[in-house]
Structure 1
Amino acid sequence: MVRKTFKSMEDFAKACGVSRPTVAKYFSNPLDLKSATRRRIETVLKQSDFEPNSFVRHLNSKVVRNIGIIIPTIYDPFFAQFVSHIESSLRERGFWSIQISSQTRPDLEEEAVRRMLEFGVAGAIVAPLGNQSRPGVFDSLKNAVPTVSFDVPLGDDVPFVSNDHREGITTMVQYLCRSGEPPVLLEGPNLSDNALIRQDGYRDAMRAEEHEPIIINCDLEPSWELERVGYEQMRRLLAGGDLPGRTFLCSNDRLAFGVMTAASETGLKIGREPGDDLRVAGHDDHPLSRYVWPPLTTMAQDTDAIAHETVYQLIELLDAEALGITVPPRRMRIRSTLMMRKSA
Structure 2
Amino acid sequence: MNPTKVRNMDEFARLSGVSRPTLSKYFNDPNSVRPSSRARIEQALEQYDFRPNLYAMNQNRRLTKTVGIVVPYLADPFFAEIARNIEQRIIEAGYRPALYSAHGRPDLEVDILDGLRSLKPAGVLLAPLGRASVKSEIESFCRDVPTVLFDSNIEGMGAAFIGSDNASFVNQTVDYLVRSGSPPCFFEMKNPANPNANKRRLAYLRRMEELGFQPHVISVDGTGWAFEEIGRKGGLDVLERKALPTNTVLCSNDRLAIGFLSACCESSVRVGIGPDCDLRVASHDDHPFSRFTCPPLTTAAHDYEAVSERAVRTLFELIESGGKLDERLEVLYPARLILRGSA
Fold conserved (TM > 0.5)? yes
Does the aligned pair in 1 maintain the 2:222–2:230 contact within 8 Å? no
Q: Classify 1:146/1:244 alpha carbon distance in 2 versus 1 (closer, same or farther; 3 Å).
A: same
* Amino acid aligned to 1:144: D
SS in structure 2 at match of 1:290:
helix
Q: Deviations over 1:183-230 (max 9, x none)?
A: 000112332431221112111221222211111123x24211111111
* Amino acid aligned to 2:297: L
- Which residue number in structure 1 is paired with residue 98 of structure 2? 98
- Residue 197 (structure 2) pairs with residue 191 (structure 1): no
Give TM-score scaled by structure 1 length: 0.79
Q: Deviations over 1:260-283 (max 9, x none)?
A: 100110111110111101111110
Q: How many residues align?
A: 289
- Which residue number in structure 2 is paired with residue 337 of structure 1? 336
* Amino acid aligned to 1:333: L
- Which residue number in structure 1 is paired with residue 112 of structure 2? 112
SS in structure 1 at match of 2:259:
helix
Over the matched positions of the two proteins, sequence identity in percent amounts to: 35
Q: Radius of gyration: which is bigger? A: 1
- Which residue number in structure 1 is paired with residue 252 of structure 2? 251
Q: Distance in 2 between matches of 1:242 and 1:151?
A: 33
Q: Distance in 2 between matches of 1:180 and 1:30?
A: 60
Does the aligned pair in 1 maintain the 2:63–2:121 contact within 8 Å? no
Q: Distance in 1 between matches of 2:325 and 2:279?
A: 53
Q: Classify 1:221/1:342 alpha carbon distance in 2 versus 1 (closer, same or farther; 3 Å).
A: closer
After superposition, residues 119-268 of structure 1 pair within 5 angstroms as 119-158=119-158, 159-188=160-189, 189-218=191-220, 220-268=221-269
Q: Distance in 2 between matches of 1:67 and 1:118?
A: 13
Q: Classify 1:131/1:64 alpha carbon distance in 2 versus 1 (closer, same or farther; 3 Å).
A: same
- Which residue number in structure 2 is paired with residue 13 of structure 1? none
Deviation at 1:233, TM superposition (A): 1.2
Deviation at 1:134, TM superposition (A): 2.3
Deviation at 1:30, TM superposition (A): 5.2
- Which residue number in structure 2 is paired with residue 41 of structure 1? none
Does the aligned pair in 1 maintain the 2:130–2:195 contact within 8 Å? yes
Q: Distance in 2 between matches of 1:193 and 1:289?
A: 21
Deviation at 1:155, TM superposition (A): 2.8
Q: Distance in 2 between matches of 1:289 and 1:311?
A: 27
- Which residue number in structure 2 is paired with residue 280 of structure 1? 281
* Amino acid aligned to 1:91: I
Q: Classify 1:243/1:29 alpha carbon distance in 2 versus 1 (closer, same or farther; 3 Å).
A: closer
Does the aligned pair in 1 maintain the 2:184–2:248 contact within 8 Å? yes
Q: Classify 1:153/1:27 alpha carbon distance in 2 versus 1 (closer, same or farther; 3 Å).
A: closer
Q: Distance in 1 between matches of 2:144 and 2:269?
A: 55
Q: Distance in 1 between matches of 2:139 and 2:130?
A: 14
Q: Deviations over 1:127-184 (max 9, x none)?
A: 1111222232323321111100111113314210111110110010000011011100
Deviation at 1:27, TM superposition (A): 12
Does the aligned pair in 2 maintain the 1:300–1:336 contact within 8 Å? yes
Unpaired segments of 5 or more residues in structure 1?
A: 1-25, 32-59
Q: Classify 1:237/1:30 alpha carbon distance in 2 versus 1 (closer, same or farther; 3 Å).
A: closer
Q: Which runs of 4+ in 1 moved over 6 A?
A: none
Does the aligned pair in 1 maintain the 2:64–2:119 contact within 8 Å? no
Give the CA RMSD over aligned residues.
2.1
Q: Classify 1:312/1:109 alpha carbon distance in 2 versus 1 (closer, same or farther; 3 Å).
A: same
* Amino acid aligned to 1:292: T
Unpaired segments of 5 or more residues in structure 2?
A: 1-25, 32-59
* Amino acid aligned to 1:78: F
- Which residue number in structure 1 is paired with residue 313 of structure 2? 312
* Amino acid aligned to 2:152: V
* Amino acid aligned to 2:153: P
* Amino acid aligned to 2:138: F
Deviation at 1:63, TM superposition (A): 5.5
Q: Distance in 1 between matches of 2:276 and 2:212?
A: 26
Q: Classify 1:102/1:242 alpha carbon distance in 2 versus 1 (closer, same or farther; 3 Å).
A: closer
* Amino acid aligned to 1:336: A
Moved more, 253-262 or 198-207: 198-207
Moved more, 282-291 or 67-76: 67-76
